[in-house]
Amino acid sequence: MATKMSSPSDVREKINKKGRALKESFGRVRDDKQALVSSDWGLSKENDHTTVEEMAVEEEDPGETLRRSLKAKHMKRKKKLFKEMVLESPPDEENEETAVQEERGEGLQRDDSSPVRSPRDLPPRPVIRPGSSQSETSMKQRVAEKLRAAKSKTASLLEQESIIEPVSRLQSLRDRETLTRFDRDIDQDLRVDEDSSFAARLKFRGAARSAARDKRDEDAPLVSDVEEDLFVIGQSEHDFLEVRRAEYLGYSRRLQRERETVFVPSMRTVPASGKLPENVRPRYLEEEGLYVGERPSVSLTNRNILENRILKQAEGREWFGDDGRIMALPDPIKESSSRPPLFHLEDELDPALHTVYRKALKSKHANRYIAAMGDPQTDYQLDVDVSGLIFSHHPLFSREHVLGARLAQLYDQHLTGKQKKLTHLLTDKLNGLRNTIRNMLELHRGEALSQVTQHRIAEYKQEVRHTRHLRDVEQEKDRALLKNIIRVWKELKTLRDFQRFTNTPYKLFIRREMVDMDQDELEFNNEIVMEVSELRAEAEEDYQRKMSEYRRRHEDWKSWRRKQKALKKKQKKKRQQEDEDEDEESEEELGEEPEKHDSPEKPDMTAVEEQVREKATRIRRKPGEPVLIPELTVSGPVTPNEQCPRAEFARREDVAKRSLFIKVLYNDKEVSRTDSRTLNMDFRVHFGQIFNLKIVNWPESIKLQIFESVGSSSSQLAEVCVPVPESSVLTGSAPSEEMEFSSNQRVTFNHEGVGSGVPFSFEADGTNMQTLLTSGKLSCCVSWAVGMNDVPLAPPSNHPVGGVYSGLMQMDAIACIGASSLNDMKKLGKWAAESRLDPNDPNNASIMQLLSVVSGGEMAVPEYFRLEQLQEEFNFLSDEELQRSRRFRLLMLRSQEVPEFRHFKCVPSVEREISEKVFQEYERRIKEGEIIDTKDHIDAHRALVARYLQRVRESVINRFLIAKHHFILSDVVSEDEVPSIGGAGSGVLGLNLFKLAEPKRPLKPLRKERKKVTAQNLSDGDIKLLVNIIRGYDIPIRRPYTSKPPVSARSARPFTEQFTAPVSSQTPVQGSDWPLGQPLIRPFVEVSFQRSVLQTSTAEGPNPCWNEEIVLPFSAPNGDYCSTSLQSFKDEVFINLFDELLYDVVEDERERGNTIHTRIERHWLGSIKIPFSTIYLQSRIDGTFKVSTPPVLLGYSKERSLGSDGGYDAIRSLSDGTFLSLFITIEPQLVPGETIREKMKEVKFDSQELERLLTACEVFEKEAGRCFSDRPCLTTVIDMNGKTVFVTRFIRPLNPPQKLLDAFPNSPQDTMELVARYVSLIPSLPDSVSFARVCDLWSTCDQFLTLLAGDEEEHAVLLCNYFLFMGKKAWLIIGTAIPEGPTVYVLTYEQSRYLIWNPSTGQHYGQYDIFCPLQTIGCLINTDNVWFNMQPYAAPVRMSFDVSRPKLWKPFFSRAFPDPGLSSVQPESLVYRRTDRAAAVELQDRIEKILREKIMEWRPRHPTRWNRYCISTLRQFLPKLELSGGQEVAEEHRLELQSLLGEYRISGFPLHLPFSEIRPIIEAVHSTGVHKVEAPNAEFALAVYVHPYPSNVLAVWVYIASLVCAH
Amino acid sequence: MTVLTTERCCKRCRNAQSARSLMAEVHIIGQIIGATGFPQNSLFCKWGIHTGGAWRLLSGLKEGQTQVDMPQIGDMAYWSHPIDLHYTTKGLQGWPKLHLQVWHQDSFGRCQLYGYGYCHVPSSPGQHRLQCATWRPLGSWQDQLAQIFVGGGPQLRTPDLIYSGADRYRLHTVAMGTVELELGVILRHFDRYGVET
């Protein structure tokens, strides 16, 4: 049991230590013994001895050792105790127990000093002696046996060891001190045999262990000796092993031993005196009359045992009460169970505790299809009950059937009328109203009627009139119906007579009910009298009103007449006095002559009565006439088949062959059908089948199709659409409804059947033709099933209007409350009161009942109830204070993602650190939501548009917030893709292996894929924008200021040449006139982004090569680096191209030799703008870009035809403009956040497109993505209402403004350009920026023109539609371009040439133009179809546009899936408003003023002088530029300027922008840097021109120039 | 936490007036670690926090659902679902309680209820490790039989019962496993209102 596998020396040491410890402890024991124990205790010592011996044997176990040592201590104490006992009281055998008890108590008190004392120490051990002697004897025997065995076995060993034995024995004895002591102290004789036995037993052990032990003693020779001996002797293992018997202690001995430690209380009753203090008599509380509870019953023996035991304890008497019994509480057990039984009926349970058994269900569907409010586990079930159908006409009807059906129909009407008792009700109501009026009048008799009462009476009268009218109509109807029934019955009878057989069992009885003649007449007359009197009163009233009206008018007329007369007199007088005619004036004064009215006729009172009587006879039963009650029965006999004529027989045969069944279609899918039932002679079919539809999809339509089958073929007769029931319509309570159906099939027969859709006649001569169509009634009932426990299996009623909303609703508690749409009962009640619903009207019965219930309940329910009653008292502070906390408000607004606070990363923890101003902007926005601030916007219309856009954006963002929370796996788990073997991509294992073997090609470096960084854990300064400017092409060169113009410049270009290159050959003039002999041009590029501006070094020449990298820091708005905010980041990278000019400013000629003193001036040449969002989404932009240069650049001209022979130059000169090669990227590369548009694909949008079409779209796009993942494919887009629309619906020929069409009547080419220019003038506002990339919305052309802002796609759609209107072949191109990224262009086909139009710039490119920004073409779209590019190449240069070849262009609508004929979403035609010229001029002035102020503001250090002369020239020039459409008219202009301002060096240019806001204009002007001219004598010129186009489209021209005096 | 009485109360009022902008706040940050002791693995948990009317949520989500965890080794399903809530309160009533529903998703992808449980959010600040025992209704013997064969099981018609104080002794329930939570509670300004933390 060595503690560890430690080295032998360790073990030795440990053992040593233990040995020493033992020695010490036993030493102490020995001391005690020596001092105290008399020889009497010898035997007990012997016991000790055995224990100790055992302990010694197992001494290696430390735990055991510890135990032993404790035991030893225990012994020590025991002995001490005994010693005391011995000392104090000599042992008294008789009352040993009590004595010991006392002793113990004293001992306890005395031995307080001893720290550890457990009760177990206490029991006395007087019985120890006999026990020990017994054990001694048994032990003796055992030991003797052992000895013998050992002796016999190891006789030889003994012999050999006889010399060593004493040594080893001594040694071992020395180790065990006790033994040594024992040997010494106790009489040797007494224990001779024991001793020897011990010795013998120990011998082997000692021998075996001596090796180890001797080693410890560093007795090396001994060790070797022993070892040698071992090897010599050790012939068998028996030498070391000893077989021992299982140790067993005899039962009686064990009992004896236990008796030493165990106390067994006696079962005898304890005398009362023992339990009570001395001299106290037991006192019984019961006897004294006090209440004592019943004790729990305990058996007497148990009690005795307990009492005995307690008494043995110290303070044992405390447990006894006064009566000498153990104190006890009353019996706690109640007689009856207070817990209610658990087995009960279900209905007794508290409703809150009800459990519902819910099946384990997949929760997927519930949320996806039906917006489940509550538990997604519920399922929905519709019950469709098809009970039967009745034909009101069937082709197999005979004539008699036709009549019979009509009769039945009329009778039905009659019955329903009777059931409703409308006539009766109305009559009652009329009487009631009359009574009320009478009562009111009586009540106020004599008194003047108050205003209110009068008003009410008038109202009542009005109602009486209305009701009377209704009653009359009703009565008339009733009467007509009765007449009709009788007529049809007569017809039927004649027909039966005529054809001599009966087909139908109809029989009409007419019952007469006699009435009391006198009373009837009285009533009749009364009624007439009443009515007459009323009518008279009304007529009288009417007359009165008319009279008063007439009088008033008459008065007017009279006064007019008087005036006129007076006037005429005056005029006469005047005429007499003067000859001048003032007739006209006077005429005007008086105005028109009022009509002269005739006085109204007095109503004819006598005629009224006659009318009433006449009407009454017409519509009412005459007095005394019996009441006729028709009764239709179907009990009549039908002529049996045999007696019928052949034709009729054939018909009946045919009928018997027919059978009917009904298909149930749910969402246009057949779900079940009824059994087929044969058609009976009465043309009624009974099905009586109920179909339970468990539904997953939201019900859109439920249809029942009626099929008729003859033999095996069946045909559809009709289709009935059943409305989807309200969710409150449940099975059981829902009434069966009768749906009418009809079909317009034409059926003819050659037997008696009348057919359907064919004219037939009842008359023999064929007159009075009738045409009847198959029709009938289907009685069915569709309702929501009721599940177990009366749970309706209906979905919550608010059908998701916008699908996506459902998610939000789930959170909204209030939305869950209303189960039906009619949930505002108060409103309903109000409405009912206002509209004066008639409570007696059976039509209103249900609503009245509802109202009564509601109003009854309303009283009981208070407006609120308080959940936490004591809340108020314990509040820390009031609500207002909580509201006032700025910090909390900020936190809450942040968590609500309010745009202003969304990006707050940290909110201060202390209130005072939050400034009051934080909320100002937000509050203003909330408050002034509706007020339009026109100050910021120059144009009121555009202010409106901006407002509107803002609102659209907000609503769109709200709508897509849900979609944003729609996470997909890659949003949550970001892990690197596992490289796959054999797949394509960067991390291909197989290819990498091959790469190892590849030769190294240091001269052909490859781009390494950069590691992408997620945007979340970035901060300011981590991101850098790298702009690599490689080279430039065709930069315009300076031209000297010569007063004589070059000749060639005069040559005007022919108009037709405009589509080809405007080649104007100008001789480059070497800058001999330039100071310092500078070269043609020294261009450099300046990149500005986020107010940091950096520039390249200056290169030389028109085709410079910079090859420089510019690193710009990037910081996100508000430090928010999440992908959504980066996507909506609006900053742009401006890349400006400048020319650096050096002017020598050395004043002193003498210093020229050794001083260079120059002034650097820079002239803007052009710029490129690239929005940051593009860079972010594309992750890198690489290519050659056209620099947008102003149409006129004063002082510069294009270098041309230097080497016109060169092939490349020839091509390049085709393209007109300056180009820069750039490479832009972001370091580190950011993961472009997935646009929400992609996510939206998972969230279904509402759509009005057919399901089939949408599926086809999905398939088509998926297919396209699989074939060519880099080519964009677009089939469906989302319109402004958030609905998915098929894209071809946007294409439709639309008229451009007529003005544009008229501009160039004979040049279609120019018209096209003008139209394109018009479209490009509509400002571009990328959706991705305005809608924070939530999605791409397409607006229709009229919306676009109203908004005057849109994306590329809106521009393209508009342009395409214009081109289509102009009769061109045009398509939309869905593709990618530089720098826009995915974009939309327009393709036109003309004169066997394809032209690609950039709709947002208005420029066009030939198909083979290498500088065309369009890089990839994915789709072509026109009105009819969508084609996907299946060609190997996607660049326009290398592909064919022949869409008729399906191999190259895969069409969407093909023969397999033809175009369903989609109507366009565009309007019929566009209406253009004429733009106000004056407003444009005003705008022009305002812009000019603002710009001038700005320029002065930008030049704080210098005065800014304006050259008025130049300005006026420029102003005149700008309209010309606009007219020419921005084409170069520069030469003339330059010359013009030159001649005027010969002495100035002018540099300047016009800027051209579409107008949206003022800010971009200022930006553009600022970025040109014209204001930076520092020359002391510089002057400036600024002119603005705004050209209005129809529909408020404005073109803005800004001409800015700086003039420096040449000398 | 102890609520102090009278003399402290007066002080409290003074304090409240002097520093009225200091309102009591509670941050609960932690996670639902997982669940153990359920008859089946592959569990997920729906959780929510219920507070009294005096409490106002400043930020964070007060209910949610974890993913389904199917432990490959061992009995415990780990979710490690974050809880991060920031409350302010104007009273101590309605201290936040957390109620949980543990669900089991079987091999067919069907979900069934495995247990309801609820525990109070500890009111002393610091990190706490909570064990929330769960139970589920037993239902009638028909329900139990059905549950053995077709899955599903009885659920409370009104799950509010999990945290409302209605007498539940009539309900027959079975003990299910325990959910382990680790919640860190940060209190602020409670001492201003006489609440010693």
- Where is pLDDT greater, at A1539 or A34? A1539
B156 contacts A355? CB cut-off 8 A: yes
Residue B90 binned pLDDT confidence (cut-offs 50, 70, 90): confident
B-contacting residues of A 879-918, CB under 8 Å? 879, 881-882, 884-885, 887-888, 891-892, 894-895, 911-912
pLDDT over 50 at A1403, yes or no: yes
Give the pLDDT mean for A316-322: 81
Give B159→chain A minimum CA distance, Å: 9
- Residue A1421 · residue A1287 · CB < 8 Å: yes
Q: Phi and psi dihedrals of A1337, rounded to 5? A: -105, 140
B21 contacts A870? CB cut-off 8 A: no
A363 contacts B158? CB cut-off 8 A: no
A911 contacts B167? CB cut-off 8 A: no
- Tell me what percent of the residues of chain A surpass a pLDDT of 90: 0
pLDDT digits (tens, 9 = 90+) for A1500-1559: 888 888 888 888 888 888 888 777 765 555 566 666 776 766 677 777 788 888 877 777
What is the reported pLDDT for A1339?
Answer: 79
What is the reported pLDDT for A153?
Answer: 60
Mutate to test the interface with B, among A353, A869, A882, A973 (most CBs of B within 10 A): A353
DSSP calls for A1220-1236? EEEEEEEESEE-PPPPH
Mutate to test the interface with A, among B17, B26, B62, B155 (most CBs of A within 10 A): B155
B142, closest residue in chain A (CA to CA): A357
Mutate to test the interface with A, among B17, B18, B20, B21 (most CBs of A within 10 A): B21
ipTM attached to this prediction: 0.82
Nearest Cβ partner for A868 among B21, B93, B146: B93
Buried b (16+ CB within 10 A) or exposed e, A721-741: ebebbbbbbbbeebeebebeb
Q: Phi and psi dihedrals of A1084, rounded to 5? A: -140, 165
A811 in reach of chain B (CB within 8 A)? no
- Residues whose CB falls within 8 Å of the CB of residue A755, separated by 6 or more in sequence, listed in order: A395, A746, A747, A748, A749
A879 contacts B170? CB cut-off 8 A: no
Nearest Cβ partner for B53 among A359, A867, A878: A867
What is the reported pLDDT for A679?
Answer: 80
Give the pLDDT mean for A616-623: 75
Which residues does chain B have within 8 Å of residue A972's beta carbon, measured at their own beta carbons? none
pLDDT digits (tens, 9 = 90+) for A661-717: 888 888 777 888 888 888 877 788 888 888 888 776 667 778 888 888 887 788 888
Give A886→chain B minimum CA distance, Å: 9
Nearest Cβ partner for A352 among B151, B155, B158: B158
pLDDT digits (tens, 9 = 90+) for A1112-1167: 888 776 666 666 666 667 677 888 888 888 777 766 667 667 777 777 877 888 88
A377, closest residue in chain B (CA to CA): B111
What is the reported pLDDT for B44?
Answer: 92
Element (H, E) at A1259: helix A1251-1267
What integer best gives the mean pLDDT of chain A?
70
What is the reported pLDDT for A603?
Answer: 65
What is the reported pLDDT for B36?
Answer: 93
Residue A852 binned pLDDT confidence (cut-offs 50, 70, 90): low
What is the reported pLDDT for B16?
Answer: 44
User: Among A642, A650, A632, A657, which Cα is nearest to A398's?
Assistant: A650
Nearest Cβ partner for A356 among B151, B157, B170: B157
pLDDT digits (tens, 9 = 90+) for A1224-1246: 888 777 766 555 455 555 455 56
What is the reported pLDDT for A1031?
Answer: 86
Q: Using DSSP, state whether A690 is helix, strand or coil.
A: strand
What is the reported pLDDT for A452?
Answer: 77
B151 contacts A359? CB cut-off 8 A: yes
- Where is pLDDT greater, at A572 or A326? A326
Which residues does chain B have within 8 Å of residue A349's beta carbon, measured at their own beta carbons? 170
A361 in reach of chain B (CB within 8 A)? yes
pLDDT over 70 at A1199, yes or no: no
What is the reported pLDDT for A830?
Answer: 65
Point out the least confidently predicted range of A342-346, A374-378, A637-641, A1089-1093.
Answer: A374-378
A350 contacts B88? CB cut-off 8 A: no
A912 contacts B172? CB cut-off 8 A: no
Alpha-carbon torsion (A425, A428, A430, A432), positive or negative: negative
What is the reported pLDDT for B130?
Answer: 94
What is the reported pLDDT for A1266?
Answer: 82
Point out the least confidently predicted range of A231-245, A583-597, A1366-1380.
Answer: A583-597
Give A365→chain B minimum CA distance, Å: 12
What is the reported pLDDT for A1068?
Answer: 39
Give the pLDDT mean for A1315-1343: 69
Give B76→chain A minimum CA distance, Å: 22
pLDDT digits (tens, 9 = 90+) for A923-947: 877 776 545 444 544 556 666 666 6
According to DSSP, residue B191 is labeled G
B64, closest residue in chain A (CA to CA): A811
B54, closest residue in chain A (CA to CA): A871
A347 in reach of chain B (CB within 8 A)? no
Distances (CA, A) of A1271 to A589, A602, A1130, A1264, A1418: 78, 87, 26, 8, 5
B3, closest residue in chain A (CA to CA): A874
Q: Residue A129 is which amino acid?
A: R
User: Among A405, A413, A411, which Cα is nearest to A503's?
Assistant: A405
Angle (nearest 5°) at CA A621 between A618 and A624: 135
Q: Radius of gyration over alpha carbons of chain B, in Å?
A: 20
pLDDT over 70 at A1480, yes or no: yes
- Residue A1397 · residue A1359 · CB < 8 Å: yes
Residue A1300 binned pLDDT confidence (cut-offs 50, 70, 90): confident
Give A864→chain B minimum CA distance, Å: 14
Q: Using DSSP, state whether A1119 is helix, strand or coil.
A: helix
A910, closest residue in chain B (CA to CA): B22
Q: Which range among A300-304, A515-519, A748-752 has the greatest average pLDDT?
A: A300-304
Which residues does chain B have within 8 Å of residue A354's beta carbon, measured at their own beta carbons? 156-158
A364 contacts B109? CB cut-off 8 A: yes
B5, closest residue in chain A (CA to CA): A874
Give the pLDDT mean for A342-367: 63
What is the reported pLDDT for A1208?
Answer: 45
pLDDT over 60 at A92, yes or no: no
What is the reported pLDDT for B122?
Answer: 92
pLDDT over 50 at A607, yes or no: yes
Residue A105 binned pLDDT confidence (cut-offs 50, 70, 90): very low
pLDDT over 60 at B10, yes or no: no
What is the reported pLDDT for A1119?
Answer: 64
A354 contacts B158? CB cut-off 8 A: yes
A345 in reach of chain B (CB within 8 A)? no
pLDDT over 70 at A866, yes or no: no
A886, closest residue in chain B (CA to CA): B21
Give A1258→chain B minimum CA distance, Å: 27
Give the pLDDT mean for A133-144: 58
pLDDT digits (tens, 9 = 90+) for A436-460: 888 877 777 666 667 777 787 788 8
Mutate to test the interface with A, among B51, B93, B141, B163 (most CBs of A within 10 A): B93
pLDDT over 70 at A185, yes or no: no
Give the pLDDT mean for A605-617: 77
- Where is pLDDT greater, at A1371 or A1091? A1371
Burial class (CB in 10 A: 0-12, 13-18, 19+), A192: exposed
pLDDT over 50 at B131, yes or no: yes
What is the reported pLDDT for B132?
Answer: 94
B191, closest residue in chain A (CA to CA): A876
Residue A1182 binned pLDDT confidence (cut-offs 50, 70, 90): confident
What is the reported pLDDT for A812?
Answer: 33
Give A903→chain B minimum CA distance, Å: 14
What is the reported pLDDT for A555?
Answer: 86
Point out the least confidently predicted range of A85-94, A505-514, A1233-1242.
Answer: A85-94
pLDDT over 70 at A1258, yes or no: yes
Give the pLDDT mean for A468-483: 86
Q: Residue B197 is which amino acid?
A: T
Q: What residue ranges in A37-182 does DSSP mark as E strands?
A: none
What is the reported pLDDT for A181?
Answer: 46
pLDDT digits (tens, 9 = 90+) for A544-556: 888 888 888 888 8
What is the reported pLDDT for A1571?
Answer: 79
Point out the least confidently predicted range of A460-474, A607-621, A1114-1128, A1256-1270.
Answer: A1114-1128
B160 contacts A871? CB cut-off 8 A: no
pLDDT digits (tens, 9 = 90+) for A1309-1326: 888 888 888 888 887 765
Give A909→chain B minimum CA distance, Å: 10
Nearest Cβ partner for B16 among A364, A876, A894: A876
Nearest Cβ partner for A353 among B90, B108, B170: B170
pLDDT over 80 at A463, yes or no: yes
A876, closest residue in chain B (CA to CA): B90
Give the pLDDT mean for A112-119: 44
Structure tokens at A893: 């607004």
Give A981→chain B minimum CA distance, Å: 28
Distances (CA, A) of A1131 to A645, A956, A1171, A1335, A1401: 95, 22, 6, 20, 20
Structure tokens at B121: 């959010």
What is the reported pLDDT for A993?
Answer: 64
- Where is pLDDT greater, at A1490 or A192? A1490
Half-sphere exposure (Cβ direction) of A432: Cα atoms closer than 13 Å: 10
Look-up: residue for tokens 């020359």? A1575
Look-up: residue for tokens 């059931």? A419
pLDDT over 70 at B35, yes or no: yes
- Tell me what percent of the residues of chain A surpass a pLDDT of 70: 61
Please report, to the nearest 10 degrees, the dihedral formed by the alpha carbons of residues A1367, A1373, A1379, A1382 taken in order.
Answer: 140
B193 contacts A876? CB cut-off 8 A: yes
Point out the least confidently predicted range of A49-58, A692-701, A838-847.
Answer: A49-58
Give the pLDDT mean for A739-746: 78
Q: Which range among A213-227, A1475-1489, B69-83 has the greatest average pLDDT?
A: B69-83
Residue A122 binned pLDDT confidence (cut-offs 50, 70, 90): very low
- A and B: number of Cβ contacts within 8 A: 134
Which residues does chain B have within 8 Å of residue A364's beta carbon, measured at their own beta carbons? 109
